[in-house]
Amino acid sequence: MTTNAKSNILWSRGARQAGLILLVALVPAVLTAWCHPRRPAWSRDQAVVPEVEWEMVQESHSPVLLIDARNGAAYEHDHIPGALWLGARPEDGGMVTVARAWQPGARLVVYCDSLRCDSAQSAARRLRRELGLNDIVVLKGGWSAWIKTHKQGR
Amino acid sequence: MDQNAQTRSLMEMAGRIIIAAVYIYAGVAKALDPAAFADSIDGYRLLPYPVGAALALYLPWLEIAAGLGVLWPRVRLGALSLLFLLCLVFGIAIASAWIRKLNISCGCFGGGDVGVVALRGSLLRSVALTLLAGALLWMEEARCVGKRAATGGTPNGTS
Amino acid sequence: MEETARKLVRVNKVGALILVVLTGVVACPAALEWKTTNLELTAQPGQQAMSVTFPFRNAGDRPVRILSLDPSCSCMSAAPDKEICAPGESGEIRVELAVAGYSGRVRRSIAVVTDDANGRFAELTLTVDIPELVVITPRFLFWKVGDAPEAKSAELVVADPKTTTFDGIECANSHFQTKFSVRRPGVFRLTIRPADTRQPDEAMVHLNAVVGGRSQTYVIYAAVK
């Protein structure tokens, strides 16, 4: 048998086997798409904004812009140092406040009260769409999580 | 001669186990959270979001299937070919992100460190895996050809 | 033989006890019965806040005290119309939630804790659809200092073209040129171009519109950073 023929048979066998594996993998993939609780959205607008812990925010190599998505009274009472209040200009949902403070390369970190609150998620999604920026994350656990790790000493 | 062949055979088996373990682990880690993986893929800015979402659903299972396939002689050739291709593609994607200085994490094992330094580490790891997959593929091909010569050409994948 | 029989009887006694306790827990009716614990609402465009109520009734035979109401975010407040509800009495939880500045589908919840003997609490959920009649993508256009001062555009998609018209554009900063055009029915384009990008600059572009009979102004922010 010539080397060429041997090579051809090898390739076709490899291709057949690869094809089988590709097909087999399709079955659980389709099931995942149908019923996995953490399946992805099909458009970026609806995709969940990633949630990160405070440690990851601090370790960020890029400058961080903190955004407080709670109500005015909560912000006035106390907030993460340096955080901007999203509600400063209700007419545009905070978009201009954030856009003005943002500098190229900065990462936006949005937080609200706690794990149960989804204002930060919806604000982050809106900012992602309106500002056209992608480096946006939500602080996991929000204000409650931050204050637990920062004010234990007091 | 026999000693050499035995050592080679053992090393090949070790290599297969390593690459299978790495890919099965990576696949499982990503299959647990496809939404996060879709985000990671989107971070590379190479594909439209819906395409990335489809890949996020499919790739983890492909990795698991190919990883398992490496351990099964009947489909080993195809599995190694797929893994080699996957390694190449991932390596190119990571390299492109590293060059563009994207502030992302590899997402190879679900989550992970973010930034240029982390990407460099991921790139090195990816190159190592590509070399391993390539070597195993080459050895498998050589064995298949050898077997054909020995048995006179009947298609048989068992080793 | 006797040993086994004794063991069996003991197991049966324990089993019977567990069954009784479980039955007690399951069969005891929840003291507070809610008309619904899940409300789906749609906000009106331009609405600042919404008020809803969750009515309940004390279906038990003991008075129930509402110990606390815990809203999931500081964007809403909740209060019961009475703290103690006598058996057979009805009451309601009044909820006020802010919708201005939010858009899309938002989910809020309130945990209601009572002195119900079973220690259960109710979770009241509100899913609100806040419509955006004009969707502008993106609302922020920027150039880095030194970039080519090329034109960049924002796309405006109008939900109901029949009741929406655009009146005019105002831009206080003459360094930014603006242009408004119609792409197709219901879809418009606002193009902005800076005169140069030699130094940082910014402009708030106000787009005046009449949406559903009401005047609205939309802001698009352009900046050289």
Question: For position C22, what pLDDT does the model report?
Answer: 59
Residue B2 covered by a domain: no
pLDDT in tens, chain B (159 residues): 578 889 989 999 999 999 999 999 999 999 998 988 998 898 888 999 999 999 999 999 999 999 999 999 999 999 999 999 999 999 999 999 888 877 677 888 876 666 777 888 899 999 999 999 999 999 998 888 877 666 655 454 444
Distance CA C125, CA C109 (A): 4
Domain membership of residue B75 as a residue range: 7-150
Ordered domains of chain C (ranges, CATH): 30-130 (2.60.40.10), 134-224 (2.60.40.10)
A87 touches chain C (CB under 8 A): yes
Distance CA B58, CA B34 (A): 9
- Where b means 16+ CB within 10 Å and e means fewer, C111-133 reads ebebebeeeeebebebebebeeb
User: Which residues of chain C register pLDDT less than 70?
Assistant: 16-17, 19-30, 46, 101, 117-120
Residue B144 covered by a domain: yes
Residue B1 covered by a domain: no
Question: For position A20, what pLDDT does the model report?
Answer: 95
CB C127 within 8 A of CB C39: yes
B44 touches chain A (CB under 8 A): no
Q: Are the Cβ atoms of A32 and B66 closer than 8 angstroms?
A: no
- Where b means 16+ CB within 10 Å and e means fewer, C11-26 reads eeeeeeeeeeeeeeee
Q: Are the Cβ atoms of A99 and C223 closer than 8 angstroms?
A: yes
Residue B66 covered by a domain: yes
Phi, psi of B157 (to 5 degrees): -90, -5
Residue type, A8: N
Distance CA A110, CA A118 (A): 11
A5 touches chain C (CB under 8 A): no
pLDDT in tens, C86-128: 999 999 999 998 887 677 778 888 888 888 766 667 889 888 8
Nearest to B39 among A26, A47, A60 (CB): A47
C73 touches chain A (CB under 8 A): yes
C113 touches chain A (CB under 8 A): no
Nearest CA in chain A to C106: A122
Q: Are the Cβ atoms of A25 and B37 closer than 8 angstroms?
A: no
For residue B73, whether the previous peptide bond is cis, meaning omega lies within 30 degrees of 0, is no
Q: Is C82 helix (H, G, I), strand (E, B) or coil?
A: coil
Distance from CA of A29 to the nearest CA of B (A): 5
Q: Are the Cβ atoms of A41 and B37 closer than 8 angstroms?
A: no
* Contacting residues for B33 by C-beta, under 8 A, at least 6 apart: A38, B110
Q: For an interface test with A, which of C221, C224, C225 has the most A Cβ atoms less than 10 Å from its Cβ? A: C221
Q: Tell me which DSSP letter residue A92 carries.
A: G
Question: Is the pair A, C in contact (3+ CB pairs within 8 Å)?
Answer: yes
Q: Average pLDDT of chain C? A: 84
Among the residues of chain C, which ranges form H helices? 2-27
Residue B158 covered by a domain: no
pTM above 0.90, yes or no: no
Domain count, chain B: 1
Contacts 24+ apart (CB under 8 A), C32-38: C32/C56, C32/C57, C32/C58, C32/C59, C32/C60, C32/C64, C32/C85, C32/C112, C32/C114, C32/C116, C32/C122, C33/C57, C33/C58, C33/C59, C34/C122, C34/C124, C37/C122, C37/C123, C37/C124, C37/C125, C38/C124, C38/C125, C38/C127
- Looking at chain A, the number of H-run helices and the number of E-run strands are 6, 5
pLDDT in tens, A8-25: 888 899 999 999 999 999
A13 touches chain B (CB under 8 A): yes
Q: For an interface test with B, which of A6, A8, A17 has the most B Cβ atoms less than 10 Å from its Cβ? A: A17
Question: For position B53, what pLDDT does the model report?
Answer: 94
Question: With respect to CATH, is domain A44-150 assigned 3.40.250.10?
Answer: yes
Question: For position B44, what pLDDT does the model report?
Answer: 87
Q: Are the Cβ atoms of B77 and A50 closer than 8 angstroms?
A: no
ipTM value of the model? Answer: 0.85
A122 touches chain C (CB under 8 A): yes
Size of interface A-B (CB pairs under 8 A): 120
Q: Average pLDDT of chain A? A: 86
